[in-house]
Amino acid sequence: MKPVILFDLDGTVIDSTEAILDGFRVTFETFGGKVPSDEAIKNEVGHTLEDMFLTLGVARDKVDEHVHCYKMHYRIISCEKTVLLDGAKEAIEEASTFATLGVVTTKTGEYSRILLEHMGLMHYFSVLIGREDVQNPKPHKEPILKALEKLEHDRSRTWMIGDTCMDIESAKNAEVHSIAVTSGYGSLEVLQKCATLITSNVYEAVKHIKKSD
């Protein structure tokens, strides 16, 4: 049985910062709100859109309409304003030679598939779990367990790669291995509080898994 490697997307495989910031800017402007700073928005990446808007000051009863507006704009601009992180394509290609691959993300699954297809990578993944596929997003264990339900797997040979403590905590809660990467939104200082294995990018993470399996 092959090992399983589950990948987060934002900050791990892709850099969609420009698209995310543009989506929030347009949304806040649409509803006449003050646009948060780029740093404030980036600090929330990895959480659900609902939680992001709440943290950024949107009233709870206005969150759904803000999320809808964001999604309508994001789906138009996402492919144009998203790029692969350095080494991500090589990491996925290398991982596919010895492991079964999946995506576990808090992004909308529909848009995640569109992005990965646009980048020519979706065919490497046997499963993709997005926000709409679970009731409890990361750091809950549900997204990882939902992915594993669809794969032949050995929990002791399953890995989650992500750039935030939510990814690492989700892996711990699901009782699988994890590697944090510093290529995304979690700083080294923050990641050191939750992760025991940290690499600079997803390619280094895949090399570590291949060597240790």
Residue positions annotated with a catalytic role: 8
Is 90 exceeded by the pLDDT of residue 192? yes
Is 90 exceeded by the pLDDT of residue 213? no
Q: How is domain 17-77 classified at the architecture level of CATH?
A: Orthogonal Bundle (1.10)
pTM more than 0.95: no
**Cα 102 to chain center, whole Å?**
11
Higher pLDDT, 1 or 99: 99
Single out the residue of 4, 34, 37 nearest to residue 151, CA to CA. 4
* pLDDT at position 102: 98
Residue spans per domain, the chain: 4-15+83-212, 17-77
One-letter identity of residue 73:
H
Question: Tens of pLDDT along 34-61?
Answer: 999 999 999 999 899 999 999 999 999 9
* pLDDT at position 134: 97
* pLDDT at position 176: 98
Q: First vs last Cα of the chain: how many Å apart? A: 12
* pLDDT at position 42: 93
Alpha-carbon distance of 109 to 103, in angstroms, equals: 9
**Cα 179 to chain center, whole Å?**
13
Is 90 exceeded by the pLDDT of residue 16? yes
Is 90 exceeded by the pLDDT of residue 136? yes
DSSP β-bridge partners for residue 6: 102, 160
Q: Are 13 and 92 in contact (CB under 8 A)?
A: yes
Question: Could you give the 3-state DSSP secondary structure of residue 150?
Answer: coil
* pLDDT at position 170: 98
CATH number belonging to the domain at 4-15+83-212, selected among 3.40.640.10, 3.40.50.1000, 3.40.50.2300, 3.90.1330.10: 3.40.50.1000
